[in-house]
Amino acid sequence: MSVLAGLTAALSSGSVEIIDLTTPLSSETPILNLPQPFANTVGLSVSPVSNFDDAGPAWAWNDVTVGEHAGTHLDAPVHWITGKDGKSVDQIEPHRLVGPIVVIDKTTEVSADPDFLLEPEHFEQWQSEHGLFPENCWVIFRTGWAARGADAAAFVNADDAGPHTPGVSAAGAKWLAGNASISGFGVETVGIDAGQAGGLDPMFPVHSFLLGADKYGVTSLRNVDRLPVTGATLVVAPLPIVGGTGSPSRVYALVEK
Amino acid sequence: MSVLAGLTAALSSGSVEIIDLTTPLSSETPILNLPQPFANTVGLSVSPVSNFDDAGPAWAWNDVTVGEHAGTHLDAPVHWITGKDGKSVDQIEPHRLVGPIVVIDKTTEVSADPDFLLEPEHFEQWQSEHGLFPENCWVIFRTGWAARGADAAAFVNADDAGPHTPGVSAAGAKWLAGNASISGFGVETVGIDAGQAGGLDPMFPVHSFLLGADKYGVTSLRNVDRLPVTGATLVVAPLPIVGGTGSPSRVYALVEK
Ligand SMILES: Nc1ccccc1C(=O)C(=O)O
Ligand SMILES: Nc1ccccc1C(=O)C(=O)O
């Protein structure tokens, strides 16, 4: 049987399942909130075009306004100064957006310390247990953070110093950017960098190193706890906004039973 | 080898390719234009949040406004009066959005008659040549229309009577809606109905019958000429807009060499 006939049969029988990793997109979807003097993006707002009325007797439809970086979204290289001569979201080749998933689970560490940062030794430790990162993979950082998704305050987890959410150290981000197998990095939080990453050097190191190395980020993932550590396939589907710095995205995982 | 390991290997070797069927999304992307007194949706507009300036020294990002039914988009049941108690775009199960592609090629007929409509006998003829439509399939109507994509006037192809673009007759739409194997219907034009479908009975029959039968539409597809008649797999990825009547979508096809 061909690969795709096998996939079709497996989807029909249920032996391969499609898990939706996307956060539902509404005006309630958590978004990043940077401190003054920085400008912030907007969450979703909806404006009706018609609603079974004179403007459209048999149909309802809406226009929407939303940030390129709202909700589950992809960060493209041109989002960051280090990648500004790189690819906009529409220029990323689809084959970089579909690939094997590796899950790095630090749920325990993060529940003890919300500011937990991944370091190079965590990636090396993972590889010594599970093998080298596969070609074109997406590294998904499992933190349990999505469980806070229904409680906006717990999700942002801010105090006077700003948000406290997990991320990657500058050394860890540099390590990821230098690994040729990695296509992208996915997180459960609103951004690919830690809540306190504005104070790291360089500031926002995951953005800085990954987007500068033609690697991509994807955020606000749900259902990461349903993924196996290896063996699942990610499908990241941003809108191909011409010149866009990112896009709200649908993200699916194919998981084999 | 497991199905997904096989898929990963095939993507690496290039024996399975990801073809992007999505129209790039910009202010130039063609959108539907209904006649008075109906209201129309908006195309994409972009508003900068920061651009490597005081509002964001190391980053650029934008907010966007766009219609749920602009560019390559999915039509959800609640878009139409016949489906208004049905699913909004966020409620469609992912397994209905990933499935085998069947291509019905009427490029020749459409080049002779832009108002060409698919009839039940065209579907029956296809099945007598290629077998029954497979479970959970997406029927893609190949018309060659995407070749007009660079020329807005040719793409809309309007005269005093309105747009002249291909579609499906009322009988054809009823036939599709009654076929249990079909998940959705995809087209190269701006809408799943013909340009002249406002004058059919019921008006806009594909919207009316398919969305009323929990089937979905996807529009403005590109690269349909690169699909085999059978054997490819469609991945439709709308944003899960809560309560949304549709969404701009990324659409990929997996094609085996
Ligand atoms: N951390 C940031 C700092 C500045 C701009 C954006 C971000 C994001 O997280 C984002 O890309 O969503
Ligand atoms: N044909 C229509 C008539 C009324 C409203 C929308 C449409 C669409 O094509 C659409 O869904 O894009």
DSSP A207-245: HHHHHTTT-EEE-----GGGS-SSS-EEEEEE--BTT-S
Query: Taking the model in full, what pTM does it have?
Result: 0.98
At what angle are helices A3-13 and B3-13 packed, to 10 degrees?
150
Which among B10, B78, B240 has CB closest to A25? B240
Q: What is the pLDDT of residue A1?
A: 82
Kindly state the DSSP code that residue A31 receives in the 8-state scheme: -
Longest dimension (CA), chain A: 65
Q: Which two tokens stand for residue A15?
A: 């032996």
CB of A75 sitting under 6 A from ligand 1: yes
Give the pLDDT of residue A82. Answer: 99
* Ligand 2 pocket, mutate which of B40, B141, B207 (most atoms under 8 A from CB): B207
From the list B225, A243, B23, the residue with the least C-alpha distance to B31 is B23
Enter the DSSP assignment of B217: E
Domain ranges within chain B, ordered by starting residue: 3-256
A86 contacts in chain B (CB < 8 Å) = none
Helix %, strand %, coil % of chain A (to 5): 25, 30, 40
Q: Which residues of chain A have pLDDT under 50?
A: none
Q: Among the options B79, B122, B130, B207, which is catalytic? A: B79
Residue A113 contacts by C-beta under 8 Å, 6 or more apart in sequence?
none
Give the Cβ contact number of residue B27 at 10 Å: 11
Tokens in use for B242?
Answer: 């809560």
Q: Which residues of chain B have pLDDT under 50?
A: none
Query: What local confidence, expressed as pLDDT, does residue A88 receive?
Result: 99
What pLDDT sits at residue B152? Answer: 86
Pairing of strands B117-118, B167-168: parallel
Cβ–Cβ gap B6/A3 under 8 Å: yes
Residues of A in Cβ contact (< 8 Å) with B15: 3
What's the CA gap between B188 and B165, in Å, rounded?
A: 10
Residue-level pLDDT at B10: 98
Testing the interface with A: which of B181, B233, B239 to mutate, by most A Cβ within 10 A? B239
Query: Within 10 Å of residue A164's Cβ, how many Cβ atoms?
Result: 16
Shortest CA distance to B88 belongs to which of A57, A238, A60? A60
CA distance linking residue A94 with residue B120, whole number of Å: 35
Is the separation of the CB atoms in B82 and B208 below 8 Å? yes
Instruction: Count other Cβ atoms within 10 Å, centred on residue A64.
Output: 22
CATH architecture of the domain covering B3-256: 3-Layer(bba) Sandwich (3.50)
Asked about B69 being catalytic, the answer comes back as: no
Structural element, H or E, at residue A29: none
How far is B176 from B184, CA to CA, in rounded Å? 9
What gap in Å lies between CA A225 and CA A19, rounded to an integer?
Answer: 11
> Residue A105: what pLDDT?
98
The answer to whether the CB of B17 falls within 8 A of the CB of A93 is no
Q: State the fold for domain A15-24+68-256.
A: Glucose Oxidase; domain 1 (3.50.30)
Q: What are phi and psi of A91, to 5 degrees?
A: -95, -5
B185, B217 Cβ separation under 8 angstroms: yes
Q: For residue A72, how far is the Cα from the chain centroid?
A: 6
The encoded tokens of residue B176 equal 């599709």
